[in-house]
Structure 1
Amino acid sequence: MMWLTAAVVLVAVALVAYSLITNPRYEWDVVFSWFLSERLFSGLINTLILTAISMVVGIVTGVLLALARLAPNYVVASVAAFMIWFFRGVPVFVQLLFWGFIAAIYPRIEMGIPFGPEFFSIDANTLITPFLAAILGLGLNEGAYMSEIVRAGLLSVHKGQTEAAKALGMKRGLILWRVVLPQAMKIIIPPTGNQTISMLKTTSLVSVLAFPELLYSAQMVYSSNYKTIPLLIAASLWYLAVTSILSLGQFYIERHFNRGSGNRAPQKLSTLFNPLKRSQPPVQKAQL
């Protein structure tokens, strides 16, 4: 049965590969001519910048919200819970549109003392550029998800670790930085890597703000030459390439933070894309 299943899968793969190679409508010559083009490459750079900044905003926001959720102050914990509920509940596409059209609600952004003198005022359209709107939309949405990831990691550390550190006279901030976080990272890193890869693909939604990221750059090209499918394939190849690099980086980071742990990450790259090999428990030898 195993050999029959493998044969069926191989035949299906061969048929798909044959279709990809022989179907002239894919226009592979057009795909590879635009794959390394300056317009798509500049869009890729913007996508990487957007991904990096949004993840930094998301991680910082997530850590702050997670600490606020765990705070003994009921008001602080409630406000943090509300923010997480709101930013996780509203689709990121809607949040991007909201930040893109923020000037419709607040034509001018003002800073000053409430009911008092005004210190600073600027036009909202001037301040909230498409790039900043994209950062706010993606970063705050990511922060809501990261807060739950960080909170789960912090709660996974046994309370005895904190109590022992307090007994040694360590302060709360030092305990968090030197005792709790290093152990929580084993729980935090894997989903954070997945969120980073997801963020890379989510940046394609920013095309609604006319920000020239990778997908929008491809759209601008095929709107003029009408080579829609080849341009989408070229953009997809870039997404796949960067995703593969991020997956490789995640592999090494996980292995670093799992050193000395009983549940160790795979030590060989060959196990990265082989879930069966990763999930098999070690064989226990019988003791005579």
Structure 2
Amino acid sequence: MPFQAQVTVIWVELLALFAAFCWSFSLSYSFMFDRAPILLGLELRDGFIQGAALTLFICAVSIAISTVIALAAALARLSDSGPAFGVATFYTSFFRGTPLLLQTMLIYLGLPQLGLVIDAIPAGIIALSLCYGAYMAEIFRAGILAVPRGQTEAALSLGLKQAEVTWLVVLPQAMRLIIPPTGNQFIAMLKDSSLVSVMGVWEIMFLARTHGRAEFKYMEMLIVAALIYWAMSAVFELVQARIEKRFGKGVSAR
């Protein structure tokens, strides 16, 4: 049997076992189907998105901000400026060395004590952006350092400025190494976005707990939430694979 066919058969068998496992618990499937559109974000709450739609919004904004932060921190760590290097290392050390939940609570509950009140959704976006920006900064830095020094020297010898070398020569080559681990960070961020539920944000996990508690059907709602997260992660993986394939064109495997 071809390799791909073997993999397909295994997946089908495992999915069947998972379905049989769930079926053995006498779950209320009508309740699951009734609440699934709410968790998917197909219904608005007071005119605003909720569920998976809100989760994707939070992740999309956090991905954009964290990417900018990561690039800035990586370039600062590679610069000859002492203050820039110091700020970048302090930032990455703190946000990599403390739990994301703690960071979220510091921003949402701690800052109001200092007179700075931030709503739950912006607080969650800030926490996710700062936390994952710190992790991705190390990925960016490693990718940039992996570009042969000769590429930079050759570009400088042609009269290009250092900024032009960075943007036109180094970063395009580094992207081939940066994208795979960065894509994994984005998928992890998608799942860690569930932590914003502790602030009362109406995303997937908050809705799953709320509806599960109301009818004491936690298992049903948690299974629906798990399937939604799984589906969204699978889509992220497909997008990541397409991007990797595009940036990998012209690079032969060693």
| TM-score of the two chains, using structure 1 as the length reference | 0.77
Q: Residue 91 of structure 1 aligns with which residue?
A: 99
Paired residue secondary structure (2:114): coil
What is the aligned-residue identity percentage?
38
Distance 1:262 1:39, change over 3 A: closer
| Contact 1:40-1:235 within 8 A present in 2 as well | no
Aligned counterparts of 1:262 and 1:39: Cα–Cα separation in 2? 41
Paired residue secondary structure (2:26): helix
> Which of the residues 131, 149, 163 maps onto 1:141?
131
| Contact 1:39-1:217 within 8 A present in 2 as well | no
Aligned counterparts of 1:225 and 1:203: Cα–Cα separation in 2? 25
* Structure 1 counterpart of 2:37, one-letter code: L
The number of equivalent residue pairs is: 237
Deviation (angstroms), 1:26? 3.0
Instruction: Show structure 1 runs of 5+ residues with no match.
Output: 1-8, 108-123, 264-280, 282-288
> Which of the residues 50, 63, 66 maps onto 2:58?
50
Aligned counterparts of 1:54 and 1:210: Cα–Cα separation in 2? 18
Q: Residue 190 of structure 1 aligns with which residue?
A: 180
| Contact 1:40-1:218 within 8 A present in 2 as well | no
Which has the larger helix fraction? Answer: 2
Q: Which moved more, 1:213-222 or 1:136-145?
A: 213-222
Deviation (angstroms), 1:104? 4.5
Aligned counterparts of 1:135 and 1:39: Cα–Cα separation in 2? 20
> Which of the residues 239, 245, 262 maps onto 2:252?
262
Aligned counterparts of 1:185 and 1:243: Cα–Cα separation in 2? 22
Aligned counterparts of 2:227 and 2:20: Cα–Cα separation in 1? 19
Matches within 5 A, 1:204-215: 204-215=194-205
Deviation (angstroms), 1:40? 4.5
Q: Residue 18 of structure 1 aligns with which residue?
A: 20
| Contact 1:87-1:144 within 8 A present in 2 as well | yes
Q: Is residue 70 of structure 2 the alignment partner of residue 62 of structure 1?
A: yes
Cα RMSD for the two superposed structures: 2.1
Aligned counterparts of 2:212 and 2:18: Cα–Cα separation in 1? 25
Aligned counterparts of 1:226 and 1:160: Cα–Cα separation in 2? 64
Deviation (angstroms), 1:178? 1.1
Q: Which moved more, 1:168-177 or 1:46-55?
A: 168-177
Distance 1:133 1:16, change over 3 A: closer
* Structure 2 counterpart of 1:131, one-letter code: I
Aligned counterparts of 1:94 and 1:85: Cα–Cα separation in 2? 15
Q: Is residue 31 of structure 2 the alignment partner of residue 30 of structure 1?
A: yes
Aligned counterparts of 1:219 and 1:137: Cα–Cα separation in 2? 22
Distance 1:152 1:103, change over 3 A: closer
* Structure 1 counterpart of 2:22, one-letter code: L
Q: Residue 101 of structure 1 aligns with which residue?
A: 109
Paired residue secondary structure (1:238): helix
| Contact 2:41-2:54 within 8 A present in 1 as well | no
Matches within 5 A, 1:202-241: 202-241=192-231
Q: Residue 158 of structure 2 aligns with which residue?
A: 168
| Contact 1:40-1:217 within 8 A present in 2 as well | no
Deviation (angstroms), 1:214? 1.2
* Structure 1 counterpart of 2:20, one-letter code: Y
Q: Which moved more, 1:49-58 or 1:33-42?
A: 33-42
| Contact 2:95-2:134 within 8 A present in 1 as well | yes
Paired residue secondary structure (1:188): helix
- Computing the radius of gyration from Cα coordinates, the structure with the larger value is 1
> Which of the residues 220, 230, 243 maps onto 2:233?
243
| TM-score of the two chains, using structure 2 as the length reference | 0.87
Paired residue secondary structure (1:37): helix
Instruction: Show structure 2 runs of 5+ residues with no match.
Output: 1-9, 43-49
